[in-house]
Structure 1
Amino acid sequence: MTTAKVIKEVLNWVKLLAIALIISVVVNAFLLQPYQVKGHSMEPSYDDSDYTMVWKPQDRYEYGEVVIVDRRIDRERQWLDRFVEHPIIQRVFRTEDDNLIIKRVVGQAGDVLEFKGNQLFRNGELLQEDYIKEEMYGNPDQTVTVPDGHIYVMGDNRNHSSDSRAIGSIPLTHVLGKVIFHK
């Protein structure tokens, strides 16, 4: 094989890999994104280091759905965030992001959530949540109304979860998508 043929073959492989990477980044940005659970806030449903797949094209989230959210609600998400969150990009540039968290939807826009006696009520009805790890404790009695364009999320391990109780209602622009698979 001549040097010219070797160079041509290498360039063809480089082009193919570049195209595959671009397709992967676009799919990750707009359709499906892998996510690895970090921490214990979603036990017993999801364990630390579980892998999930997130479906992104969604504008409404139902009660009980598990979602991935960007907890930095004090800033607007930029279009570039979708690309920077790609696992390959994060590994290459060593920029793992702990701002993305996994939580369960417990409130939608307009819902009135009440915390009374360490129990959660939505629109006056006590929530029956068979997925939570244990009864909540140490929550002050309070009432929260979920604003338009937001959801309210909590971890299944309520006593060890940094969620909407601490960071506030999550703007829909900060919801990456819902979990459709986990292992």
Structure 2
Amino acid sequence: MKWIKEFSEWIIIPFILVVSITTFVIQPTEVLGSSMEPTLHNEDRVYISKISHTLNYEPDYGDIVIIDSHINSDHTLKEDIIENPIISLIYQNQDHNVWIKRVVGKSGDTLEFKDNKVYRNGKLLEEPYIKEAMLDNPDRTVVVPENHVFVMGDNRNNSSDSRIIGCVPLDHILGKRLF
């Protein structure tokens, strides 16, 4: 009986604590690809704050967010736990991907793409963080639906973002980049 008590004190309790912290508070992740260059590069390690996801906060303009790639299905607490990096190691969950993008539009915003530039609610966005000007981006207008955000990569000519995948539901924003 003493062995079981010691085992739970040294293994089970710390395991539950680490899983809880990486599910609800802070989580490391790795950048895969070049869609966020020059801000983030392939294989950079970033730490994300999960508090905004846990407390259902809407991200701010310019925030770099981590997105659950399964945007066409509901995101639940069960998925948060299963997709935790530590639980993924145990179950070898290779099916899950996350995307890292920058928030450009929030609920109710009208985004216009014209002359390879982005306008939000009629004002040209100043984007000193982008790698280069967009090329071959067709002119169009998008209204961001309620409880969604519009995200784009900083490497606009090499990013699968809301221009392709559509607006992202807020419950699929898993957190925002801390450092």
Specify every segment of 5 or more residues in structure 1 that has no aligned partner in the other structure, as ranges. Answer: 1-6
Query: How far does residue 27 in structure 1 lie from its aligned partner after superposition?
Result: 1.2
| Residues 171/156 of structure 1: CA separation in 2 closer, same or farther (3 Å cut) | same
* 1:161-180 alignment runs, 5 A limit: 161-180=159-178
**Correspondence 1:96 to 2:94:** yes
CA RMSD of aligned residues (A): 1.7
Match of 1:19 in 2: 13
Higher mean Cα deviation, 111-120 or 14-23?
14-23
**Correspondence 1:32 to 2:26:** yes
Residue-pair matches, total: 175
Q: In the alignment, is the contact (CA less than 8 A) between 1:71 and 1:170 conserved in 2?
A: no
Q: In the alignment, is the contact (CA less than 8 A) between 2:69 and 2:96 conserved in 1?
A: no
Q: Aligned equivalents of 2:127 and 2:163: distance in 1?
A: 17
Query: How far does residue 96 in structure 1 lie from its aligned partner after superposition?
Result: 3.3
Higher mean Cα deviation, 78-87 or 109-118?
78-87
Provide TM-score, normalisation by structure 2. 0.91
Q: Which amino acid aligns with 2:44?
A: D
Match of 1:75 in 2: 73
Query: How far does residue 99 in structure 1 lie from its aligned partner after superposition?
Result: 2.7
Q: Considering only CA atoms, is the larger Rg found in Structure 1 or Structure 2?
A: 1
| Residues 97/178 of structure 1: CA separation in 2 closer, same or farther (3 Å cut) | farther
- Aligned to 1:38, the other structure's residue is in SS state coil
Structure 1's consecutive aligned runs of 4 or more residues displaced over 6 angstroms after TM superposition are none
Q: Aligned equivalents of 1:97 and 1:53: distance in 2?
A: 21
- Aligned to 1:105, the other structure's residue is in SS state strand
Specify every segment of 5 or more residues in structure 2 that has no aligned partner in the other structure, as ranges. Answer: none
- Aligned to 1:80, the other structure's residue is in SS state helix
Q: In the alignment, is the contact (CA less than 8 A) between 1:71 and 1:167 conserved in 2?
A: no
Identity of aligned residues (%): 46
**Correspondence 1:47 to 2:41:** yes
